[in-house]
Amino acid sequence: MKALVYTDTLELQYRDEPEPSVGDGEALVKIEAIGICGSDMHAYHGHDARRVPPLILGHEAVGVVQTGSHRDKRVVLNPLITCGHCNHCLGGRSNLCAERELIGMRRAGAFADYISIPESNLLDIPADMDSITASLTEPAATSLHAIYLAEQALYRPVSECNALILGAGSIGVFAALMLKHKGCGSIFLGDTNALRRATAETANCGTVYDPLGDELPPQGSFDLVIDAVGSGRSRAAASALVAAGGVISHVGLLDNEPGLDTRRLTLDEIAFLGNYTYSVIDLRAAIGLLYCRALGDLAWVESRSLANGAQAFRDIHEGNAAAAKIVLTP
């Protein structure tokens, strides 16, 4: 089969690879579409010790099952492989399983013609669901999970809140679209990349601004701040922009540099929430929202061939990609 293989820092090769073996309880899936995630870029930059080259990256995937009881069904992959029997798994929080594994981390991912994955990680989708749209399930579920946790911590409903999202990648744009869908009337979306700001404008999900520019939102004015970047600078901005009694929802994992103002969090009773991936219910809910077009026409998504995947990574790295999400198709 053909696969896009991470071979070294800033290096990907589109080449022949052995077709994956299929173990007990697993299925072989022919990939239809696979999105490039920020964590894939983190590996590409050589900043993730868990992803050791040579490795097939990629976990935001949809495909057709080739073997087993789900044969011929179109499915979205749940990339999180968990034990299934710990308290977190049994309690519906499998994303916190101590034995969790993610495809494209130590196990081969989905930037390939085929992938093997446990049958329990297959989520059926409508037969007529567009493959590009279906491949967006994972980032959409990540945003949905972050908002769900924030709703539990907010003092008032999101429909009454002022919200700010830092980062206009797919998770940030999806978060803005979901907040709009939930009736949030005031949404700001910040990104330092001019191309991505222009794309975010077309999504019509809020006021888009440049965090490095002169026209910044007033400090202390947002009931909810979603940090979809996760850098020291974005944490500092979130600390300054969140209102007293508000909530910071931390989703991004760019770095672990200082920036969070814990003194202000304490004195102003600001809740800081860590958010990691999603539950199976989040994935199912995301499929439903995407299928019924509740989040708009998704014109901010770009599709390219897997064979040209190395150039897509390079364009994102160099800041030359306007799309909030690039999806690759074998």
Beta bridge partners of 12: 6
What is this structure's pTM? Answer: 0.96
**pLDDT greater than 90 at residue 125:** yes
The residue behind tokens 């999105």 is 35
| Cβ–Cβ under 8 Å, residues 135 and 35 | yes
Q: Give residue 322's pLDDT.
A: 94
Rounded mean pLDDT of 271-296?
Answer: 97
| Cβ–Cβ under 8 Å, residues 73 and 64 | yes
140-274: CATH superfamily: NAD(P)-binding Rossmann-like Domain (3.40.50.720)
φ/ψ bin of 58: left (φ > 0), alpha (ψ from -120 to 50), beta (otherwise): left
Convert the pLDDT of each residue in 177-191 to its tens digit: 999 999 998 999 999
Nearest to 233 by CA among 275, 190, 266: 190
| Cβ–Cβ under 8 Å, residues 63 and 32 | yes
By percentage, how much of the chain surpasses pLDDT 70? Answer: 100
| CATH 3.90.180.10 residue ranges for the chain | 2-136+298-329
Number of H helices, E strands in the chain: 10, 18
Convert the pLDDT of each residue in 243-252 to its tens digit: 999 999 999 9
| Cβ–Cβ under 8 Å, residues 17 and 330 | no
Q: Give residue 185's pLDDT.
A: 87
Rounded mean pLDDT of 75-79?
Answer: 98
Helix (H), strand (E) at residue 202 = helix 194-203
**pLDDT greater than 90 at residue 124:** yes
If one looks up domain 2-136+298-329 in CATH, what number appears?
3.90.180.10
Q: What average pLDDT does the structure give for the chain?
A: 97
Buried/exposed 298-317: b ≥16 CB within 10 Å, e otherwise: bebbbbbebeebbebbebbe
| CATH 3.40.50.720 residue ranges for the chain | 140-274
Token code pair at residue 212: 């490095």
| Cβ–Cβ under 8 Å, residues 76 and 123 | yes
Convert the pLDDT of each residue in 86-114 to its tens digit: 999 999 999 999 999 999 999 999 999 99
Q: Is the peptide bond before 54 cis (omega within 30 degrees of 0)?
A: yes
Q: Give residue 204's pLDDT.
A: 92
